[in-house]
Every structure is written in structure tokens, then in C-alpha cells.
Amino acid sequence: MIKVDQEKCIGCGLCAGLCPETFQMNADGKSIVIKDQVTDCAKDAAEQCPVSVITVK
């Protein structure tokens, strides 16, 4: 399961850049999960998110 806490997402775009099949930026500049599947790049994005608001489990 992959989740983004959109309240705390700062909209840096890193996750969508690293893992575009999983994350996309919405019209408000927040990350949304478009494919709820745990992949290596989704894990990388969770590790590298500067505000640690991505949960992957």
C-alpha cells in the first residue's frame, strides 16, 4: 500500500520524477498515488522524500 500525506507534501516533485508510474503531481502541486503497487522506485521515493510523507508497506 502506498500513501502520500498531501497535507504535508511540499510539492517538490521528487517522487513523480523518480517513479512516474506510481506518483503524479496534481493540479494543486501535491503528489498523488496513481498506481498502488509497491515497487523499488516507490520505495526509493519514500526514502528520499524530503519531508518523509510517503508511506510504502
9 forms part of the interface with ligand SF4 (CB under 6 A): yes
Q: At 20, is the secondary structure helix, strand, or coil?
A: coil
| Shortest distance, position 4 Cβ to ligand SF4, whole Å | 5
Name which position in 2, 19, 22, 31 contacts ligand SF4 (CB under 6 A).
31
In the chain, the largest separation of any two C-alpha atoms, in whole Å, equals 26
Q: At 24, is the secondary structure helix, strand, or coil?
A: strand
Name which position in 4, 19, 33, 42 contacts ligand SF4 (CB under 6 A).
4
Strand segments, DSSP code E, in 1-57 are 2-4, 23-25, 31-33, 54-56
Binding site for ligand SF4 (CB under 6 A): 4, 9-15, 31, 49-51, 53-54
